[in-house]
């Protein structure tokens, strides 16, 4: 369901981390790029929804990684708005390598934000119609990530929100949360573990000048994450890794 769309993208050196593989934030950025490009093609891009005081926000991602592509690889990303109801859109992304092997699959839940009052808005019918998504009562659900509990051992680090963390929606870009969640793990863990799954749920926006706390509870190949601003949860996630 939904009009299919695709982009082709070459992985550049500045899109990789020290391993030479596509960085975690860039996985999201490239997924979002494919959906933005589709919206532009359909004539309902940023200019159109910003003119109505609306912006798309992502509420949840579920990312399955078979293999992260390396610098100079050319990948293809297929996407479509598959389902919608008046408040939510479900959008899958599939990343393929040059051998046409599926390497990354992302599910996502989107909503529209009223930019002035920072609240969720009803999705305009003429905008959603362009994508030919299936209208459903309830969109396909992404399970909520397991929470950090009071019995978990927590490691945490503080991060100051930087000027370049903020996007044109005037809040911290969703992809930056991955940087805080990954960076709190030590180098030894990151060198010996490769990411296979990320389920992240965004709860509250983070703004310029705020200080966030990135918390993690590690249990072998599973890490549970929470981003806090003071006593409020901004995002929760669960990462699954394989030993390398």
Complex with its own copies: residue 1 or 7, whichever CB lies closer: 7
Measured from the CB of residue 204, what is the shortest distance to its own copies in angstroms?
A: 19
Q: How far is the CB of 23 from its own copies (least distance, A)?
A: 6
Element (H, E) at 37: helix 24-41
Q: How far is the CB of 163 from its own copies (least distance, A)?
A: 5
Closest listed residue to residue 109, CA positions, set 95, 127, 93, 98: 93
The Cα–Cα gap between 13 and 21 comes to 9
Count CA atoms closer than 13 A to 28's CA, side-chain side.
21
Q: 161: which DSSP letter?
A: P
Question: What residues pair up with 98 in beta bridges, in sequence order?
Answer: none
- State the nearest-atom distance from the C-beta of 136 to its own copies, in Å: 29
Q: Give the residue with the Cβ less far from its own copies, 18 or 230.
A: 18
| Shortest Cβ 150–its own copies spacing (Å) | 27
Name which of 60 and 214 has its Cβ closer to its own copies.
214
Q: Please report how close the Cβ of residue 78 comes to its own copies at its closest, in angstroms.
A: 18
The nearer residue to its own copies, 21 or 139, going by C-beta atoms, is 21
For residues 17 and 134, which CB has a smaller minimum distance to its own copies in the complex? 17
CA angle (65 as vertex; 135, 178 as ends), nearest 5 = 85
Task: Tell me which DSSP letter residue 164 carries.
Answer: G
Measured distance CA(88)–CA(28) in Å, rounded: 19
Tokens representing 25 are 């934030």
- Using CB under 8 A, list all residues that contact its own copies: 12-14, 16-18, 20, 23, 25-26, 29, 32-33, 36, 157, 160, 162-164, 166-168, 170, 173, 175, 179, 182-183, 185, 187, 190, 208-209
β-partners of residue 189 are: none
Select 14 or 230, whichever has its Cβ closest to its own copies.
14
């Amino acid at each position: 369901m939904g009009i299919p769309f695709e982009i082709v993208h070459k992985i550049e050196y500045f899109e990789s981390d020290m391993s030479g593989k596509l960085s975690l934030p860039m996985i999201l950025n490239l997924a979002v790029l494919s959906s933005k490009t589709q919206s532009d093609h359909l004539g309902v891009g940023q200019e159109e929804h910003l003119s109505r005081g609306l912006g798309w926000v992502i509420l949840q991602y579920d990312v399955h990684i078979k293999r992260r592509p390396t610098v100079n690889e050319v990948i293809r990303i297929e996407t479509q708005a598959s389902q919608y109801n008046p408040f939510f859109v479900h959008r899958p992304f599939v990343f393929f390598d040059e051998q046409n092997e599926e390497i990354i699959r992302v599910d996502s839940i989107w909503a529209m934000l009223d930019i002035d009052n920072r609240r969720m808005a009803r999705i305009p019918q003429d905008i959603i119609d362009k994508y030919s998504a299936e209208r459903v009562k309830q969109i396909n659900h992404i399970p909520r990530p397991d929470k950090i509990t009071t019995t978990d051992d927590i490691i945490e680090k503080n991060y100051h929100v930087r000027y370049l963390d903020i996007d044109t929606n005037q809040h911290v870009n969703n992809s930056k949360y991955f940087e805080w969640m990954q960076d709190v793990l030590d180098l030894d863990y990151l060198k010996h573990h490769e990411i296979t799954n990320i389920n992240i749920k965004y709860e509250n926006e983070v703004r310029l000048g705020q200080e966030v706390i990135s918390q993690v509870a590690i249990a072998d190949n599973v890490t549970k994450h929470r981003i806090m601003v003071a006593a409020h949860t901004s995002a929760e996630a669960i990462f699954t890794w394989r030993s390398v």
